[in-house]
Structure 1
Amino acid sequence: MAKASTYSPAETVAYFDLEEKESRQVDDLLVELAGRYRSAEDHEFVATSPRHAARLPGRLLDAVGDFRREETSAALVLRGLVIDDAEIGPTPLRWRQQVTPVSTLRQEMYLLLVGALLGEVFGWETLQDARLVHDVLPMPTEKNQQSGHGTVRLEWHTEDGFHPFRCDYLLLLGLRNPDDVPTTVAGVDAVTLSPEHQEVLRQARFLIRPDTEHLKHAGELVAGSCEVHSMQVMQSSPEPCAVLFGGEQPYLRVDPAFMQPMPGDRDAKEALTALVDQLEQQLRDVVVGPGDLLIVDNYKAVHGRSAFHARYDGTDRWLKKAVFARDLRKSRPLRSTAGARVIH
Structure 2
Amino acid sequence: MMHHPTRRQFEALLLASLCGAASAQSARQPAPAAPQQPWPTKPVRLLIGFPPGSVQDLSARAISEQLSKQLGQPVIVENKAGASGTIAADQVAKSIDWHTFGVMNNSQLTIAKMLNPATAYDPSRDLAPVALIGVTPLLLVVSNAAPGATSSDWMTWLRNMGSKASYGSPGVGTPGHLGMELLKSRASFDAVHVPYQGNPQIITALNGGQLHAALLPPGLALQHVRAGKMKAVGVTSGRRSPLASEQPTLREVGVLGADLELWTAMAGPAGLPAAIRDKLGAAVIEVVKDDETRQRLLTAGWQAAPSNHEGLRIRMKSDTQTLGGIIMLRNIRADS
Range into which the TM-score falls when normalised by the shorter chain: under 0.3
Q: Which has the larger radius of gyration?
A: 2
Compare relative contact order (CA 8 Å, sep 6+) and give the higher one, 1 or 2. 1
What's the TM-score once normalised by structure 1's chain length? Answer: 0.25
Higher helix proportion: 2
